[in-house]
Every structure is written in structure tokens, then in C-alpha cells.
Amino acid sequence: MESQSDAEKTYAIGAFAKLTGVTERTLRFYDRKELLTPSGRNAQGHRYYTERDLLRLQQILTLKYLDFSLEEIAEHFAEPGADLEQSLSLQYELLKKKRQQLDQAIFTIERLRTYVDGTEKLDSALLLMFIHNIQNEESQKQYLAERMPTVLVDAIYHVGVKEEVRLERERIMTLTLIELLSHCRAGKSPTDPEVLAVGSKMVQIVTEVLAPAISQLSEQELSKLEQEIEQSLDPVLFQISLSKEEETFVQVVMEELEKREKEKEIQDAGGNSDGN
């Protein structure tokens, strides 16, 4: 610290940085941005700061704490007559919105961690797909509600189900899909007994979730539902990050399980007929 007079103290940049807890690099950056221009320079051209600069820096740090951008801070200083109270009201609304976004991001990560707990390293494309679907869940529900019976949409999204039950269902479904895709990437056949066992588990979960709702639908509603399913979903809203090979693999597994279920029904019907 250097003293020019008893009335005013001056600080070399290093001393000013130490006093304020702001790095020299940041002080130079603020100088280049004309946010905090040092009160002067000495004969060697080195910056020096005064207590007036300390007040200005405190104002900058206060506005930064309130999440004002450097551009917004510069605008505020460029217009001494600007209504700071109005700016604070606007900033308050922006911060509330940001808090909502942060809360949603935290919720998304927490939910995702529940899904993939216990899995090995997850493919990034699949991980991003899960995140996308969690983020867009409300929009997806609205989209489907315009095309499907409410009771079915509620079942798909576990409306009215206890939180722990919903999370466990979604976790098992996610782990089952990951396991199924791992078999595909390992080069196994869709008709491999181990693969079909995983596929059967997936069908069982879906049936458990949807069957009660489907049983409440009329023949007309079921017919309309089949038509809706045949139509493509919005690819932006319903993101599927599977490769063509993976999509085909899952489809073949489901078709094979459906074929075997029908064969079993025929055999059971034949057995009952013989017994009668």
C-alpha cells in the first residue's frame, strides 16, 4: 500500500487485489471492459487504485452477486440516472425463473440417478435420451392426452401412484432396456433364450402398468388407440436415441414374444378342448 497523502490512499494492483479478494487478472479484465478503470498510473505505467475504486468494485461485485451480467452492469454505470429499483425487480423475476430451472435440473439428475443406480457405464446417447424425456414429460403428457384416453395417459405416467412405486417401476424398466440393448451390442440373437427372458420382463412391467387402464377402454377406444399407435410420434418431443440396429433388435424380440404367446394360447385352447 502506498500513500500519496493523509486524505487519500493508493494501492498497487497486487495490494488492491489482496485487499479485495479479487485476482489481478480479474482487475485487468474489468479495466479492459471499462467497468473499473484505475484512478491512475504511476511513472512506470503501473495501475494504482484508490478508495473510490474500492467503492466501484464493491458495486460491481454486489450486482454480480445478484446475477447481473457484466454487460448489464456496464449499462447501469453508463446511465447514472437508471432506475436501479426497477432493474432489481426485473432481476428478481429472472432469478426466480433461474431457480425454477435449477430445481428442475436437480430433480432431473436425482431421478436419473435413481434409474441407473447399479448399472455399469451408460451410453451417453441413451443417457441424454432419458434426460430429454424427463425434461419434456409434461409436454409429452399433453401431446398424448390430445390423442389417447386420459386413463391410459395417466397410467403411462403413473399418475396417482406413490412416488416410490413410480420410481421403482421406472428404474426396473430402464435397467431392463439397458440389459436388452447390452445383449444387442454383444451380438446375441433376438431369439436367444436369455434375450427373450429380458424382453419378457419388459413386457411384464408394461402389462402391469397399462393393463388396468386398457381394460377400462371400449372397443371403439381400443380401435382408435391402435390407429394412433401406428402413426409416428413427434420425433422432437419423443426422442429415441437407439441405432437402427437396436430398434430392429428390440422390435424382433417383442414380435417373437408375441408369436410365442399366441402359440401358447392356441396350445392351451387345444388342451382344454381335448380335455372336454
Query: CB within 8 A of 220, min separation 6: which ones?
Result: none
pLDDT band at 230 (very low <50, low <70, confident <90, very high): low
Pairing of β 40-41 and β 9-12:
unpaired
To the nearest 10°, the Cα dihedral for 33, 36, 37, 42?
-130
* pLDDT of res. 269: 76
Q: Which helix (H) or strand (E) holds 41?
A: strand 40-41
CA distance 167 to 181: 21
Integer Cα distance of 89 and 82 in angstroms? 13
For the record, the C-alpha cell of 208 comes out as 402391469
Site of grid cell 371403439: 220
Phi-psi bin for 160: left (phi > 0), alpha (psi -120 to 50), beta? left
Contact (CB, 8 A) for 51 and 9: yes
Average pLDDT over residues 147-166: 91
Integer Cα distance of 176 and 199 in angstroms: 8
- Neighbouring residues of 168: CB distance < 8 A, sequence distance ≥ 6: none
Min mean pLDDT across 15-29, 124-138, 229-243, 252-266 is at 229-243
Looking at domain 2-82, its CATH class is mainly alpha
SS3 23: coil
In percent, the amount of the chain with pLDDT more than 70 equals 91
| pLDDT at 170 exceeding the cut of 70 | yes
| Secondary structure class of 247 (helix, strand, coil) | helix
Q: How far apart are CA 148 and CA 131, in angstroms?
A: 24
Q: Residues 18-70: pLDDT tens digits? A: 999 999 999 999 999 999 999 988 778 888 999 899 999 999 999 999 989 99
Burial 12-32 (b: 16+ CB within 10 A, else e): bbeebbeebebeeeebeebee
pLDDT confidence bin for 118, thresholds 50/70/90: low
**64, 173, 266 from 207: Cα distances, Å:** 53, 12, 20
pLDDT category at 190 given cuts 50, 70, 90 is very high
Q: Sorting pLDDT into bands at 50, 70 and 90, what band is 8? A: low
Domain ranges of the chain: 2-82, 102-270
